[in-house]
Structure 1
């Protein structure tokens, strides 16, 4: 999870993705993922469809869900938002450059 954050965090500053600065965009996205996939996990755990190897988790749990799973549900949507906003910024930059070039050619 740390690697995902480390790779995408520069997009916030270098490309000015502004995900962390726009809580109304960020919070609903995270909330939907945590609720939907948290419910999915609870169902899977309750029905014994899957378990978590104690060797690979801290032992800290929220109900039946390990801390690592909650962190996953928060980090991955943030990284996805940062990636999306970063790509959008780059595409818009090139779109503006192309429009400026086209306007210069017409003159």
Structure 2
């Protein structure tokens, strides 16, 4: 029974592990429109790709590891979740590293404006 939820549980774990990065300076969830503009077009492209591959029987999903909820063209719900969660987690990671590097550069500079 748990197997059917495995895919979604892994996606939830990805969100839980990266969520604290928002508080370390990632600022991804604070800008939902920007997040949507970055993630949704790419997710749509990959969902279309998946739909074509599924229809051509080139790509399939083991029913043991998915809930059985399907979107249009036989794409499992888990694929949509994957295409939304993984890029969001990547943006959180990138945003956090960028913020930490920015802070490190600021703290490493001499006070008083430096040499002229």
- Using the size of structure 2 for normalisation, the TM-score is 0.82
2:41 is aligned, of 23, 32, 39, to: 32
Give the 5 Å matches for 1:48-59. Answer: 48-59=57-68
Other structure's SS at 2:17 match: helix
Write the deviation string for residues 56-104 of structure 1: whole angstroms up to 9, x where unpaired: 1100011111011110001001101100100000100111012236957
- What is the number of equivalent residue pairs in this alignment? 104
Contact residue 33 and residue 77 of structure 1 kept, 8 A: no
Contact residue 17 and residue 86 of structure 1 kept, 8 A: yes
- Residue 60 of structure 1 is matched in structure 2 by 69
Structure 2: runs of 5 or more not aligned: 1-10
**What is the Cα deviation at residue 4 of structure 1?**
1.1
Instruction: List structure 1 segments (4+ residues) > 6 angstroms apart after TM superposition.
Output: none
Structure 1: runs of 5 or more not aligned: none
Contact residue 12 and residue 19 of structure 1 kept, 8 A: yes
Write the deviation string for residues 16-54 of structure 1: whole angstroms up to 9, x where unpaired: 321111022100122112211001101110111011111
State how far apart, in whole Å, the 2-side matches of 1:32 and 1:26 are. 11
State how far apart, in whole Å, the 2-side matches of 1:18 and 1:88 are. 11
